[in-house]
Structure 1
Amino acid sequence: MGEDQKGKRLKRIVFVTVGTTSFDALVRAMDTQAVREELRRRGYTDLLIQMGRGSYIPSKFSGEDGLVAVDYFTFSPTIADYLLSAELVISHAGSGSIFETLRLGKPLVVVVNEDLMDNHQSELADELAARKHLFCSRPQSLGQALRTMDLEALVPYSPGDARPVATHINKFLGFQAD
């Protein structure tokens, strides 16, 4: 792994978030030797998992012997700092987590929770993947997705302009334009 000018190990962090829900399948998928080895092969040094309400506890590793260091926590008032420090984000398919990550320009792998009743999240993730803004996976295929992802192929996400829609709604409701 690289070092800075003072000989300190440079961190390349992968941040995993499940939001406020329980998504043990994603945490379990991250807690495999194959995934950790793929992350190490790609030059990542640290894996930080926000595990939400889940009951599956991942293994912690210190990062010695060139292995990826692994740590976890349940909740935080905000994940903004974690997203900012990450080189790669792996997230559940919640729209808030997706768009917050994309606005920061971070590479993103979205893992769809197939256990949800109304899987509208899958539609959003699949559409954004088709537009090449992110990679989409299921828990059981996460290792393969990490092996084959090409970060250079991602297209930056540009938020749309909501003003025309707001103007139209205001006009329809009879509100005057400013």
Structure 2
Amino acid sequence: MIKLRSSGLAPVIGAALLATAGGAQVSAHITAATGPGLDDATRAAFLDRAAEIAEDEQFTLDEMVENNRGIADSELTEQEWCLANAIYFEARGESLEGQLAVADVVINRTESERYPDNWCDVIKQKAQFSFVQNRRFPRITEMKPWDTAKAVAQVAIDDAYEVVRGEVLWYHADYVNPHWAPAFNEVAKVGTHIFYQS
């Protein structure tokens, strides 16, 4: 699902979305919704219809990420912030699929009885993610990868595209050999990360 994030009347819809077969319809609905003289209910109805049209389209992961770029930090909830940090620090040098796979593991863990039930607690759990120190995240220094991480997080949150969902709860970089890996079943390699389920 493409989530039309908006502050006021400025939903984030990328050029890729507007170039699709249904993009002209979405564009028309957004234009109508931002026209003068509309009450809030009518405007909301137009935006809802634009979202429905967008949902009917099939998008590539690249397009979905592009459509979610530009999310302001202030728009993120605490949980969204944590998920985006995990993507940024664990996989910012990876492909979009590699970044999304990391997000998938975090989400999978929250749905498993083995781990905490929210993203922040999963990520900050002791000895699980090496970038976390004393339940704190390092400072973000690269804005373009951070923007990508936030966009990838939104795709994962919207459940719009999956790489390793379900029981895939563990991964490691291919240049290390953690002692726990032989106890699990390898299911995928995405970029430099190897993913496992029990």
Tell whether the structures are fold-level matches, with TM greater than 0.5: no
Question: TM-score by structure 2 length?
Answer: 0.23
Question: TM-score by structure 1 length?
Answer: 0.25
